[in-house]
Amino acid sequence: MHVLVTGGAGFIGANLCRALELAGHSVTAFDDLSTGFASNLDGTNTELVVGTILDPAAINAAAGPAEAIVHLAARPSVPRSIVDPVASHHVNATGTVNVLEAARLEGNRHVMCAGSSSVYGANPELPKHEGLAPMPVSPYAASKLATESYTLAYGHSYGLPTLAFRFFNVYGPLQAAGHAYAAVIPAFVDAALRGLPLPVDGDGTQTRDFTFVDTVTSVITDAVNRRVTSDIPVNLAYGTRTDLLTVIDQIRDNTGDDLVIDLRPTRAGDVPHSQADGGRVRILFPDIEPTPLEIGLKSTIDWMRSVI
């Protein structure tokens, strides 16, 4: 099968391209290289098409040969959306419509999209199950709610086979650090390996359901293989809940270093706690077992050591 991965040169995208190739698929990565890197695809047979999902003609052309589309392209980061909400809307909402239109116009394309746990926002209930009312508290979260909503709406309106995932704090090799909007685990590991204070926004007691990238790519590859669909969003996480101070302890155990913590003010748009209800993903993908945090962290640290 030929699979198009938007955002395919990004962190999750490049890992997914490798997983899809190992499963026997031919893959095209479509990416504007704004946050991804062509070098992430080194050693693969993936075709890289440089373009933006804001260009309908470009995404239509890329979608033509594809039998399945995994839509990962996005403008990531809550803080980035606080600074420039309009850009987040254009990429995450309008860009998604462009991808869905390409899939609709080309025929019965199977479309999977990357939503976000941030859509739960101010809803305090834990664990977060898919039946909860979304309560976004940042422009990023609102734009990702649009991503999944448009995807499911196209499924209902046009009979397009669709699957909308909600990602929870994905981490692993190829995830960039060293920039203002770095995710928490690469930011922590990068600082630890460089002997710098670890930047903690808040008091470190906030919790997250961290998901190793190999778990994510295994689920998506299985979805492609079996053409899995769902008429409601699916949490792509398994119900773990780890506070940031515990993550730091595990990094310390892996590196053997004394780590200094730099406590900073809580960021606007952040939520204090996040944990998935993983019941639905286990039903839809019964053969996938998630990678434990300690194993995923070791793999991430080993990779970051190799590139620093």
In the chain, % of residues over pLDDT 70: 99
Q: How confident is the model at residue 180 (pLDDT cuts 50, 70, 90)?
A: low
Query: Of 306, 216, 182, nearest to 13 (Cα)?
Result: 216
CA distance 293 to 300: 10
| Secondary structure tally for the chain: helices H, strands E | 11, 13
250-270 pLDDT, tens digit per residue, is 999 999 888 999 999 998 888
Give the per-residue SS3 of 94-130: HHHHHHHHHHHHHCCCEEEEEEEHHHHCCCCCCCECC
Other Cβ atoms less than 10 A from the Cβ of 135: the count is: 14
- pLDDT for the residue 181: 66
Cα–Cα distances in Å, from 11 out to 59, 169, 180, 213, 231? 20, 13, 16, 9, 27
Question: Mapped to the 3 state alphabet, what secondary structure does 202-224 carry?
Answer: CCCCCEECCEEHHHHHHHHHHHH
- What's the confidence (pLDDT) of residue 205? 96
Domain assignments of the chain as residue spans, ordered by start: 2-170+212-238+277-290, 184-206+240-274+295-307
- Fold assignment, 184-206+240-274+295-307: UDP-galactose 4-epimerase; domain 1 (3.90.25)
pLDDT in tens, 19-61: 999 999 999 999 999 999 999 999 999 999 999 999 999 999 9
pLDDT of residue 53: 98
CA–CA separation, 292 and 297 (whole Å): 9
Question: Coil, helix or strand for 136?
Answer: coil
pLDDT greater than 70 at residue 86:
yes
Q: Please tell me if the domain spanning 2-170+212-238+277-290 has the same topology as the one spanning 184-206+240-274+295-307.
A: no
pLDDT-derived band at 292, boundaries 50, 70, 90: very high
Q: What is the pTM for the complete model shown?
A: 0.96
Cα(128)–Cα(239) distance, integer angstroms: 9
Q: Is 28 left (phi over 0), alpha (psi -120 to 50) or beta?
A: beta
187-236 tens-digit pLDDT: 999 999 999 999 999 999 999 999 999 999 999 999 999 999 999 999 99
CB atoms within 10 A of CB 268: 11
119 contact partners, CB below 8 Å, separation of at least 6: 134, 136, 141, 144, 145, 148, 166
Strand partners, 2: 26
For 2-170+212-238+277-290, CATH number out of 2.60.40.10, 3.40.50.720, 3.30.2010.10, 3.10.129.10 equals 3.40.50.720
* Residue 172, pLDDT score: 97
CB 138 within 8 A of CB 269: yes
| Residue owning tokens 């499963």 | 23
Q: For the chain, give the longest Cα–Cα distance.
A: 56
Indicate the Cα dihedral angle 183, 166, 157, 160, nearest 10°: 90
